[in-house]
Amino acid sequence: MTPTTVAAPERRRKILADARWVGLHGIGRFAREVLRRLPIDTRLERGPRPLSLADPLWLASNAIARKPGVFFSPGFNPPPLCFAPLVFTIHDLIHIETPEAATAAKRLYYRCIVKPACHRAFRVLTVSEHSRSRILAWSGLSAERVVNVGNGVGDPFRADGPRYQPGFRYVLYVGNARPHKNLDRLFQAFGDLACPGVNLVLAGTPEREIAGSLERHDIGSRVQLVGSLPDQELAAVYRGASLVVLPSLVEGFGLPALEAMACGTPVVVSRIPALVETVGDAGLFFDPQEPGDLTRAMKLALGDADLRARMTAWGLQRARCFSWDQVAARVLAVLDEAAASERP
C-alpha cells in the first residue's frame, strides 16, 4: 500500500523539516512514516548527527538562512535560534527521568536547549497521553501547547505474509539493550520458564551489550539474536513468534507491541502507563519489577492456545486504531496552524 500524502490547504509559508532522524529505531520510524506523507518543501537530510556538538549551530544556521515559514523536527533536537514558527517532537522524557539514562550531558542539553525551545515553540508534539502529561509537568507549558499526535503501524506489519521458521517455538523481544528496557529481568524470567523447546529470539539487540547477562542467567543456548532487520523481515519474525514480550520499566509509546498486534501475535507487556495506553485490553500485563510475574504471564500465554487465539483477535482489532496517515494528518494540522500564526 502506498502511503497517502496528506493534502494541505493553501499554505502561506513553506515547511522546512529535519529528515536526519529517519532510521530503524522508534523516532526514526516516526520520522520516516510522517515525513513521507507530508508536503514538505525542504528536507535537511545531510548534516551532523542529531544531538552532536555541531548539531545546534548547524540547525540554527539552516533555520535562519533558508527562511522557512515553519520549522518541523520529528525529533527532540530543536534549533536554538529560529525566527520561523517552530514545531518539534518530544517522544518521551526517558533521557532525564530514568537514572541510568540521565547523564550530566543529557540533563544539560534538556535544560539549556530543549526546555527553552518548548517555550519558544508554536507547539510541542508527542506520541502518547502519558508522554504528554510528563512533558507538561516538566516544561510548565499550558495544556494546548503540547499535542499528542500518536504513532501508527506500517503496511509491512500485517497478519498475512511470510513467517520466520527457525525450527522451534520462540518468544520474541524487539528493541535495544538500554537499562530501562529491563532485559536482565527478562532473562531471569525466561530462565525460570519451564517450557521445553521454547527459545528466546532478540531483534535489534547487540550481543556485546547482553553477553554478561546471558551468561549470568545461563540461557545463552536458548537465545538467538537476529540483529536489526528491515521492516519486511521484522514482520516475518513477529508473525512466527508464539508471543512478543516487552519488559520495559518505562516507555513513551511501545511501537513493538503495536507492530506485533498488527501481525497477529499475542503480546505480554509491562504494566506501565504508556504500554497500557497502547495495548488497551488486547494483551497480558505483568509487574516489570517482578521476574516471577513475567514468568507466570509467559507460561500462561504459551500454554493456552485458545487464549492466544483470543489475544490475536483482540490485538488485530486494537492495531486498527493506529494509522500513520492519521498521524501525518494531525501533524499537518499543527503545521498549517503554525504557518498561519503571527507569533514566531
**Domain CATH code at residue 258:** 3.40.50.2000
Same domain, 178 and 279: yes
**Full-model pTM:** 0.91
Same domain, 180 and 305: yes
User: What pLDDT sits at residue 104?
Assistant: 87
E strands in the chain: 15-18, 42-44, 70-73, 86-89, 123-126, 146-148, 169-174, 198-203, 223-227, 243-246, 267-270, 284-286
Same domain, 188 and 303: yes
User: What pLDDT sits at residue 206?
Assistant: 84
E strands in 153-229: 169-174, 198-203, 223-227
Cross-strand pairs, 284: 268
Domain count, the chain: 2
Same domain, 100 and 178: no
80, 99, 107, 286 from 103: Cα distances, Å: 21, 8, 6, 29
User: What pLDDT sits at residue 344?
Assistant: 47
- DSSP three-state, residue 117: helix
Same domain, 315 and 328: no
Q: Which domain holds residue 87?
A: 15-152+323-340
User: What pLDDT sits at residue 295?
Assistant: 97
Residue 157 domain-assigned (yes or no): no
User: What pLDDT sits at residue 260?
Assistant: 98
User: What pLDDT sits at residue 1?
Assistant: 55
Same domain, 227 and 132: no
Contact 135, 94 (CB under 8 A): no
Residue 109 domain-assigned (yes or no): yes
Q: Give the residue from 234, 182, 180 showing the smallest Cα distance to 204.
A: 234
Residue 3 domain-assigned (yes or no): no
- DSSP three-state, residue 212: helix
Residue 98 domain-assigned (yes or no): yes
Please give the Cα distance from 41 to 188 (Å, whole number): 50
Q: Distance from CA of residue 160 to its chain's centroid?
A: 23
Q: What is the pLDDT along the chain (344 residues), one digit of tens a residue?
A: 556 665 555 544 699 999 999 987 889 999 999 999 999 889 999 989 988 899 999 999 999 999 999 999 999 999 999 999 999 999 999 999 887 777 888 899 999 999 999 999 999 999 999 999 999 999 999 999 999 999 999 899 999 999 999 999 999 999 999 999 999 999 999 999 988 899 999 999 888 889 999 999 999 999 999 999 999 999 999 999 999 999 999 999 999 999 999 999 999 999 999 999 999 999 999 999 999 999 999 999 999 999 999 999 999 999 999 999 999 999 999 999 999 885 54
Same domain, 138 and 177: no
Same domain, 225 and 307: yes
Same domain, 87 and 131: yes
User: What pLDDT sits at residue 3?
Assistant: 67
